[in-house]
Structure 1
Amino acid sequence: MSNNLSTEVVGGELCDFLKDTLRQPVEVGDDIFALGMANSMFALELIVYIESRYGLTLEGEDLTRDNFRSAQAMAELVVKRAAAVGSQ
């Protein structure tokens, strides 16, 4: 995992993952739950993907629906957690 992650790069990667997985276009700010593209079961898939792709462990306080609502929110979470891990 690179310590030079940016929300723009991660957001783009997550949009690509969402597009491939959901088989429909997804913009970085799209609320995938409100648009009916995702449900709580899919959120589990997102957690597994993010942890494996970015080498992170997401913990209790990270696991809110708001953190997974959009590629932008997920990217912000990834960058925040990566910075926290990098500072340890």
Structure 2
Amino acid sequence: MNDTEREAVRGFIFQHTKGVAVRDDEDLLAAGHVNSLFAVQVVMWIERTFGTPIEGADLDFANIRSLTAIEAFVDRKRGIGQPA
């Protein structure tokens, strides 16, 4: 994931946390920033923004647990790094 894409992820999360900044490795679930409804929105946003089709096996909170996890997930789906 390039810097522009990384900033897009940060911006999307920032909008939905009502302006609360989160660290890249902060657990969005444990911190209460992500609930099940927002998790669905994140998944849909990833699909639209990065053209990354998400399949049933991908629907795991671990893939969207943090900004770092989202980045790694998108890279895996693109075939960068380890297989998804």
The residue identity in structure 1 corresponding to 2:8 is E
Higher relative contact order (CA 8 A, sep 6+): 1
Post-superposition offset of 1:28: 0.9
What is the TM-score of this pair, normalised by structure 1? Answer: 0.79
**Structure 1 portions without partners, runs of 5+:** none
What is the aligned length? 79
Residues in 1 aligned to 2:24 and 2:9: alpha-carbon distance in whole angstroms = 8
- Name the CA shift for 1:13/1:20 in 2 (closer, same or farther; >3 Å): same
Corresponding residue of 2:25: 29
Give 1:46 deviation, angstroms.
Answer: 0.1
When residues 79 and 9 of structure 1 are mapped into structure 2, their CA distance, relative to the original with a 3 A threshold, is farther
| TM-score normalised per structure 2 | 0.82
Identity of aligned residues (%): 27
Letter in 1 for 2:37: M
Q: Of the candidates 1, 10, 13, which is equivalent to residue 18 of structure 1?
A: 13
Runs of 4+ deviating beyond 2 Å: 8-13
Structure 2, unaligned stretches of length 5 or more?
none
CA distance in 2, matches of 1:58, 1:10: 18
